[in-house]
Structure 1
Amino acid sequence: MKLVFIHGWSVTSTETYGELPQVLASLADPSLAIEIKHIYLGRYISFNDAVTLDDIAIAFESARKRELGDSEFSVITHSTGGPVVRAWLSRFYPLALAQVPLKHLIMLAPANHGSALAQLGKSRISRLKAWFDGVEPGQRVLDWLELGSDGQHQLNHEWLDWNCLEKGVYPFVFTGETIDKALYDYMNSYTGEVGSDGVVRVAAANLNFSCLELMQQESQTCISFDGQCAQLLQLTEQKSSLSQYVFDVIPKASHSNKKMGILNAVTRRNAQNKPVVQRILASLLVESVSDYKVLRQRLVDNAQRQDNNRYCMMVVRICDDLGHGVTDFDFFLLCGDDYHAGNLPRGLILDKQRNSINGNTITLYLDANKLHKLKAGKLGFKVSARPDYGFSYYKSAEFHCQPEQVSQWLCADQTLMLDITLKRYIADDTFSFAQVGDEPSFKSLAGD
């Protein structure tokens, strides 16, 4: 088995993965006949502002052909490397193609749904030891990594239709949720955020996620908590991962660093006691869908995390029925029999971040346990968009979940993509025909 480690731009040796490659080669089942390969993407593409995640995926294909030829291989990625390989799969092995050379995709702390830190900017990110090791990242890569980015939206939507197991590709996600105080940035609380490894949230790493599409309806209305009339949103599509993917949270693992880093803390001396090593070795032994499902169930059964440390993300994207992104809006969570914004449990919303490039997307970070304590078990969403009058405008929209939907859609350690389509109203007098003899100037009709 050719086992490939993907290295970043500044890497000039295998030290970035600690002693993990050597450990796996020595501890793996002899039947695997592991042959370690290293691909340094820095040799193919530089880390500058022009580089996109798709560019890196294309560079990986070039590197794969040059280093591996047509050989089947498995890969271990870290952080941004996970989305890179997923983007490579999506680009070079679409649904119609059956043969994929990749067998095991083992992702360590992958930013599959981005990172809250990406919005900090290049210079600040480069000073965070937990992520890029002092190298200033390219802006286009950071744009992809920012919560709620267009790139994530596209790739994750494609992933919902891409049946990995059916194609013989076995994905695994292993991430930590321990904060290494040595890497904590006292100027930024995200580096010490609960439910994260200091860089990536557990919910943002998980490949088990759902997507809902809601569309505004004119025919049904309700009186909202503020006394105003709102049109109801209708559920038009619901999707979740075609397969339940292997996922596990590694105890006492942070994003990086030699002390607790999920990969570079592994040494020959401590390898036998490192859960991440055990998980990787078990993953490499998977040869069939049945093997995969057995491993997944075993990890679910053995999970020993405390129920009071569970969080989830909701990525809300607002567009109108003409395809425009709606950037000026208020988004409310509602709760209880009367679906009121004032009924939410205290501390339910831990964070709320609007994407800095496409302002029609916000990401909410929620305490999953408190979702189960909602009054009457009911949750709702309300969107109040602007402009709400004039030639082109929007009306408020609202959606009311039922208790069983809340537990189904907002799961601990997972992300919900919520795509909302509003109706764009056009005033009747936006276009009119002038009559002979009318006042020649119609400037006054334009209003303020």
Structure 2
Amino acid sequence: MARHVVIVHGWSDEGKSFKNLASNISTWSKKPPLIINIADWISLQDKVTYADVAVAMQRAWLKLKLSTEPRSVDVVTHSTGALIVREWMTRFYQSANVPIYRFLMLAPANFGSPLAHKGRSFIGRVVKGWNKFLGQTGTEILKGLELGSPYTVNLAKKDLFSNDTWYGSGKILATILVGNIGYDGVEAIANEDGSDGTVRISTANLNCSLLQLPLDSNQQAKNDWSLQKSKGEIAFGIIDQENHSTIALKSGGPKNPNTLTLIQNALSVEDEGFSVNNGSFPWQREIDMSDPLIANRSPRYMNLVSHVSDDLGQEIADYFIQIYRKTNTDRKFEKEIYEDVFNTTHTYFDNPAYRSIYISVKNLDAIMARYTIEMLYLSITAQPMFEPPQNPVGYRSISAADTDGLQIASKDISSFFTAHRTLIAEVVMERQIDGTVFEIK
């Protein structure tokens, strides 16, 4: 029986861009016979949503009579294509009956792209030529691609933090490969450390964590706070000298001799390769051994996505994240944190309660090595409640010396701040309401 591989492109692209990739996959295939299906989906119409594309994908899948049997079809995606497929599979299937067997994500925008909010002129100049962007740019798709978007957070909750496990041995065998250099020429204006020119290494990786942090009225962490790691096993590799285009065998790629082998093996790995042994699994070890020092050679950043709301279910648009110590209050440590560790902060345009903070783990490690610190503190400052009637509602303002926030022991810092990964922090504050808001006399 023939084996099918479906290739799904990303935003602003089209299926014909992946003929070289399809040709290489066909050449590698031995048994059983292989059928390559290349998808096309509308990404530049402003009103088209991820849900729209997922429904259309399901219709096209059934129309072509692709198998819907569990673990029967391999899928390869590039960039935004990973979000499309994850939306489709979580919308129409359960983890036990999803048709995907092997899921190879090349440079996926799983937690967004810094290009998404740059504007039509910038995107048109950098990506694929200006003429393609006269008119519509795919507004709804770009909203989901924006850094810190609620869409990518909620999608992660479906397949990474739900009660079901979607990835690993006996489930979807997922592999993520991402490059570590940007573009050449005029397109280089989009480059930044820790990215492939379009997506950041940390936002490509689906191995992530979810911090759920309820705070009491004194801005101290309640006992039921939790830090969860994403469920399942997902193989992840950084490929040296590949950018967002070359890793998908476009623009003269691949540039790294390991790329073709890793793509081939990702589409031939079996369950045994995802069987966890001593905290690791064989396929991940194979990726790591292809370039053992690549993670340290690549710029070491993490993506912190914060969402702050209160205990009444109201989102908080104006807030400030603090990381500090309580000893030696000369504030030199804090100054270095804000100047050298918090690289950039992006506030999600449609909902300022969501933010993406790009954190230099390399600089954090260097700062921690210069100071003797047993405990770090993380807390949130939001709109304070002043003396009524000027402002009778808000959040108690407490100095760093008086609040503990979330205490993070030095030995646990790496659990919260991990290079090449995303940490989703959901903080809930207690809202203060003065008695003058409603009186009965």
TM-score tier, shorter chain, comes to 0.7 to 0.9
Shift of 1:254: 0.8
The residue number in structure 2 matching 1:178 is 181
Shift of 1:206: 0.1
Contact map agreement 1:177 1:250 (CA 8 A) in 2: yes
- Identity between Structure 1 and Structure 2 (%): 25
- Segment of structure 1 superposing worse, 148-157 or 285-294: 285-294
The residue number in structure 2 matching 1:86 is 86
- Does 2:241 align with 1:242? no
Partners in 1 of 2:140 and 2:15 — Cα distance?
Answer: 25
Aligned pairs for 1:410-421 (under 5 A) are 410-421=417-428
Shift of 1:62: 1.2
Give the one of 354, 365, 376 matched to 1:361. Answer: 354
The residue number in structure 2 matching 1:382 is 379
Shift of 1:133: 8.8
Shift of 1:287: 2.1
Bigger radius of gyration: 1
Contact map agreement 1:18 1:264 (CA 8 A) in 2: no
Contact map agreement 1:39 1:63 (CA 8 A) in 2: no
SS class of match (1:31): coil
Distance 1:376 1:93, change over 3 A: farther
Contact map agreement 1:320 1:422 (CA 8 A) in 2: yes
Contact map agreement 1:329 1:384 (CA 8 A) in 2: yes
Letter in 2 for 1:51: V
Partners in 1 of 2:286 and 2:197 — Cα distance?
Answer: 27
Cα distance per residue 1:8-33 (max 9 Å; x no partner): 5766662x1251111111123x1242
Distance 1:131 1:315, change over 3 A: farther
SS class of match (2:117): helix
Partners in 1 of 2:436 and 2:55 — Cα distance?
Answer: 50
SS class of match (1:59): helix
Aligned pairs for 1:6-25 (under 5 A) are 6-7=8-9, 14=16, 16-25=17-26
Structure 1 gaps, min length 5: 222-229, 435-448
The residue number in structure 1 matching 2:322 is 332
Shift of 1:125: 2.0
Letter in 1 for 2:192: E
Cα distance per residue 1:168-222 (max 9 Å; x no partner): 2111100111112225354xxxx1100100110000000100000111124xx5x
Give the one of 168, 171, 184 matched to 2:171. Answer: 168
Partners in 2 of 1:74 and 1:422 — Cα distance?
Answer: 44
Partners in 1 of 2:364 and 2:307 — Cα distance?
Answer: 21
The residue number in structure 2 matching 1:227 is none
Give the one of 272, 292, 296 matched to 2:284. Answer: 296
Contact map agreement 2:15 2:40 (CA 8 A) in 1: no
Shift of 1:430: 1.6
Partners in 2 of 1:330 and 1:76 — Cα distance?
Answer: 39
Instruction: Say what the alpha-carbon RMSD is for the aligned residues.
Output: 2.6
Letter in 2 for 1:414: R
SS class of match (2:340): coil
Distance 1:203 1:113, change over 3 A: same
SS class of match (1:242): coil
The residue number in structure 2 matching 1:431 is 438
Shift of 1:343: 5.1
Contact map agreement 1:266 1:274 (CA 8 A) in 2: no
Partners in 1 of 2:295 and 2:267 — Cα distance?
Answer: 28
Distance 1:427 1:248, change over 3 A: same
Cα distance per residue 1:71-102 (max 9 Å; x no partner): 5211111010001111111111135xx22211
SS class of match (2:225): strand
Shift of 1:49: 1.6
The residue number in structure 1 matching 2:308 is 318
The residue number in structure 1 matching 2:278 is none
Partners in 2 of 1:276 and 1:296 — Cα distance?
Answer: 15
Aligned pairs for 1:392-407 (under 5 A) are 392-396=393-397, 398-407=405-414
- Segment of structure 1 superposing worse, 366-375 or 84-93: 366-375
The residue number in structure 2 matching 1:106 is 104
The residue number in structure 1 matching 2:61 is 64
Cα distance per residue 1:367-397 (max 9 Å; x no partner): 1122223233543323111143332211247
Letter in 2 for 1:366: I
Letter in 2 for 1:264: K
The residue number in structure 2 matching 1:198 is 197
Partners in 2 of 1:419 and 1:9 — Cα distance?
Answer: 28
Partners in 2 of 1:154 and 1:54 — Cα distance?
Answer: 13
Partners in 2 of 1:55 and 1:123 — Cα distance?
Answer: 26
Aligned positions, number: 407
- Segment of structure 1 superposing worse, 200-209 or 305-314: 305-314
Partners in 1 of 2:222 and 2:132 — Cα distance?
Answer: 46
Structure 2 gaps, min length 5: 276-280, 398-402
Give the one of 275, 286, 303 matched to 2:269. Answer: 286
Partners in 2 of 1:85 and 1:103 — Cα distance?
Answer: 13
Shift of 1:431: 1.4
Give the one of 254, 263, 266 matched to 2:249. Answer: 263
Cα distance per residue 1:220-256 (max 9 Å; x no partner): x5xxxxxxxx545656122111123100011111112
Letter in 2 for 1:208: N
TM-score, with structure 1 as normaliser: 0.83
Partners in 1 of 2:94 and 2:257 — Cα distance?
Answer: 36
The residue number in structure 1 matching 2:144 is 144
Contact map agreement 2:179 2:196 (CA 8 A) in 1: yes
Partners in 2 of 1:330 and 1:39 — Cα distance?
Answer: 43
The residue number in structure 1 matching 2:215 is 216
The residue number in structure 2 matching 1:442 is none
Shift of 1:153: 1.3
